[in-house]
Chain A
Amino acid sequence: MSKVIRGLSSSAYIGIIIIVAIIVGAIAYYAGTMAAPKTVSTTTITQTTTITQTVTVTQTVATTPTTTTTPTQTTSPSPTPTVTVPPNAPKKIAVVYDIGGRGDLSFNDMAYLGASKASKDFGLELVEVQSKTEADYLPNLRSLARSGDYAVIIAVGFLMTDAVKQVADEYPNQLFAIIDGYIPDKPNVLSVLFKEHEGSALVGALAGMVAHYYKCPAVGVVLGMEIPVLYKFEAGYYWGIRYGEEVYKQHTGEDIKPLNILWTYTGAFNDPAKGKTATEAQLAQGACVVYNVAGATGLGIFEAVEEAAKAKGRDMGPPFAIGVDSDQDWIKPGFILASMEKRVDVGVYTAVERALLYYAGKIDKFGGILELGLKEGGVAISKVEDLETFLAIAEQAGKQINKTEIIEKVKKMRSEIPQWIWQEVDKLAETLKTNPDVEVMGLKFSQIEKMIPLDANEIKQIREQLGVPTG
C-alpha cells in the first residue's frame, strides 16, 4: 500500500515538474512572441492614417541599384547593403511557393535567388515552404504567421492572393508580401507587381522585326493558364510586334504584309509535352518566333523550335523561341532569341529590404503596391552579359555546362540578326522609360498601361485593335 502511494507520489512529482516546465515554457514563449509584434502593432495604427505612400515605394526601389540583386555579386565587389536588421525584427524570412513550385525554370527559382541573396546580405534565416495543392495555401501561411518568427512572409504567385488576404486579416501584425498578386488596401501586405507589358513589348518588337527579316508570315505566343497576369504579357507583346513592324517598314522601306499573330492558352504550366504540341501547331501555321509565357510548359516550346530548325538542317533558328522570367537563352543556345526577364528576385529582395526599413522605423508604411518596370530594373530583355551571370549560377549549383560554348553560340545567333534590330529594341526600352505615349495602330502604350489590371474584355479590345484574332 505504502509502496503504491510512494510510487504515486514520485510519479506525481515528475508530473508536476513537467507541467510546471510546460507552463513556464509557454509563458516565456508567449512573452517572446508578444513582445516583438507589440512594437509593430503600434506602428500599424499610426500607419493606417497615412495611406498615400505608394510613390515613396517606387522611390526606394529606384535608389536600390538593380545590380545589387544580381546573384553572383557575392564574389564580385558588391555594394554593401545599407539596410541592417533592426533588433526588434524577427530574424527569419519565409518564402511560400505556389503549386508550380521550385523548378519551374524561372518564376519560383528567381524568387529563391532574391530571397537567398536577401538572407545572405541581411543575415536572415530563409525558410522555404512548398504548396502541394491550392488547399495548402491557407494552412501554410497561417502556420508561418502564427509563429511570429518571420520578418516578412513572401507568397510567390497570383494564385495565393485570396489566401494572403485572409491570413493578413487574421494576423494584422505580420508583414506579408505577395508577388504578382494585387492586394492594394492592407497595411501589412506589400503587393509586388511587374510591368510585364513593358518587357513583353521589347521582345514583341524583336519578334516582329526578326519575323519580317526572315520573311515569315506569323509570330506566336504559347501561354499557360488563362489568368489576368498573362494578359499583360499578351498586350505588351502584340503592341511590340506591331511597333517592330512599323520600325522595320521605316528602316528598310519595304512594303510588308502585317504578321499573323497566333496565340494559345495551353491551360497548364507544368506540361512540356503540351507546350511542344501547341508550338508545332504555330510553327506549321508559319510562325518563326514563339514567345514562351508558360513556365515549365515552355520547355516543350524550346524543344519544338529546335526540332523544326534541325529538320531543315540548321543548328540555329529560325524558328526561334523567346524565353520568359529568367534568362532562358542558355537552355537551347542558338534557338532562343532572347528572354523577357521578370526580375522576381529584385521584387523579393526589395520586399525584404522594405520590411526591414519598416521595422527600423525608416518608413512608416509597409503595405501598398510596388510596381517594378524597365525603369526600376524589374523587367528587362536579356543580354549576353546576363547569360554569363546565369551560367555562373548554374555552375555554382553544380550543373555541368560548357559556358564558353553556350555563350559563343548565343553570340553567333545574335550576330546573324542585323545589328540595327537589336539597337531598335534598346531604343524602344529607352523610349518606354521616358515617353510611354508612343502610338501604334492608334493605340498608345500608355493606354494599355492605364487599362491595367486587364480583364477578359479589355484584352479582347486590345487584341482587336492590334489586329490579333480575338477569343
Chain B
Amino acid sequence: MTAYLIRRLWQMIPTMLGVMLLVFMLFNTFAGDPAQVLAGKISNKAEIENIRKQLGVDEPYWKQMAIFAKQVVTADFGRSWSTKEPVSEIFAKRIGPSLTIMIPILVIEMFLCVALAMAVAYWRGGLTDRLVMIICTVAMSISFLAYIIAGQYFLGYRTELFPVQGWSDNLLTNLATYAPLPVLLAVLVGLGPGIRFYRSVFLDEISHDYVRTARAKGLPESTVLFKHVLRNAMIPIITNVAMSLPSLIFGAFLLEKFFSIPGLGREVINAVDKSDFPIVKAVTIYLAFATMVFNLLADVLYRVADPRVEFK
C-alpha cells in the first residue's frame, strides 16, 4: 500500500511538469507580450512594465520558465494584474462560496441519481423505463443556460420563492436562502446524464451470473438490487464521483455568474475576460494537481469498495 502510494505520487511528477509546460506555452509564448495583451485594459504604463519585468519577458525562455516553476513550487503566483490582490488570497476567499453550493449539489445529486437509476433498473424494459430515458435525453438537450435563465425568472423573479441572486457573509444564511435555487437547478440538470449513466452501470451488473444465483436462491428483487448489485456497482460510482470532484473546486461557474455568488468559477470567468493571467494560471495548476490527487483517492477507494482489487 505505502509502496503503491509512493509510486503513484512519483508518477505525478512528469504529468505535473507537463501541465506546467502547457500552461507556460499558453500564457508565456502564445499569448504574446503582456504589454499588448493589456493594452486598453491597464492604462498605467509603469504597471505594465512592472508586470513584464516580473514575468521576465525580455529574458530567454529558460529563465522565464524558471520564474514560473518557482511560482508553482512556492504556490505564490504573485498579484492579480487587475486588482493587485495576491492570487493566494483571492483563492482562499473564493473557495468557500464555491464549496457552499457545490457540496450540496454533489451529495444530493449522487443519492438522487443512484436511487432513481435503481428504480429505473428495477422496472427495466417497461414503459416507465422508456419514458424516463426519453425524458432524460430531452432534459439533457436543453442548454444549462436555459435552465438557469428560466429557473431564475420563474422561481426567483415571478413566484418569488427564492431570491433572484445574492450572497452574504454568513454560511447558514447562504445555505438557507441563497444556495437552494442554484443547487436545485444544478441537481435538475445533473439528473439526466446521471440517471442514464448509473442505469447502464446497473443493467450491466444485472446481467452477471451472481445476480441469477441470488435470484435462484429466492432473494427478493429489492435485496438483489440494493445489496448485491449496488455493492458491485460501487467502482463506477466512485469513478464518476471522483471525476466530478475537481469541478467541486472550480464550481459551477455559470451558476456563480448568474446568481452573483463570489466563488472561484466567477473569478476565473472575470479573469479570462480581463486577461488577468496570474489567476487563470494559478487555478489551472491547482486544479490539475487536485484532479491527480482525487484520481489517486478514487483508486484507493476501489480497494475499500472491492477487496479483490489489488494495487499494482
Asked if A pairs with B, the answer is: no
